[in-house]
Every structure is written in structure tokens, then in C-alpha cells.
Amino acid sequence: KAGVTQTPRYLIKTRGQQVTLSCSPISGHRSVSWYQQTPGQGLQFLFEYFSETQRNKGNFPGRFSGRQFSNSRSEMNVSTLELGDSALYLCASNGGGPVYEQYFGPGTRLTVT
């Protein structure tokens, strides 16, 4: 069974631009969570989607948004990029059990210049 895949793996954007990241969960998993990982703040929860509905949301500004499609694939979007948005963005999928039973993808490294 394939693991969680994230595309692209690396991305460089300019301040003010927007970006869309994609996550394909493990086959059969309906829950997808997104995290931002930075050296200063560590791993911080962005949001979780389950069956195309946002189930949980972290404490991030409205520039960060996401969605989930009927095939459980998820995208997150960051608009009006700031330098501080440079981070590793991790996606985790869950098979429908408690949120802690999740499997992480390798992440997308976003660099904002």
C-alpha cells in the first residue's frame, strides 16, 4: 500500500504570491491533516479535513486555507505569501480512527524569498 504522497517536494515563491500544495493520503484514508514545521515554532497544526469537511482548525491566519476532494486528496493554499511562511508543510492521513493514528508524508519544503 502506497504511503502519503505530497507534491511538490520543493517550492520557491516570492513574497506576495500564492501557493497550492497537494497531498494524497493512503488509499482508504478519509482524514487529512496539515502541519507547518519551522525551526522556531516546531510542528504546528493547520487544519484537518474529513470527508471533504474541515473538522479541526489551528490558529493560523485566513491566508491559509485548504480543501478536500471526494477522492480524499487534499490541497492547502497560502495566499499573499510572507517570508515567515517559509517552512516544511507536512500532511498526515488517518484511517478514520482517533487523530493520533496518523501517517505523515515527506513534506513540501516552501521557501519564500
Q: Which residues bind other proteins (CB under 8 A)?
A: 4, 33, 35, 37-40, 42-45, 48, 55-56, 58, 88, 90, 92, 98-100, 102-107, 109
As beta bridge partners, residue 37 has 43, 88
| Shortest separation between residue 45's beta carbon and other proteins, angstroms | 4
b/e map of 57-81 (b: 16 or more CB within 10 Å)? eeebeeebbbebeeebebbbebeeb
Q: How far is the CB of 8 from other proteins (least distance, A)?
A: 13
CB of 84 to other proteins, least distance (A): 15
Whichever of 28 and 80 has its CB closer to other proteins, that residue is 28
CA–CA dist 36, 79 (Å, integer):
15
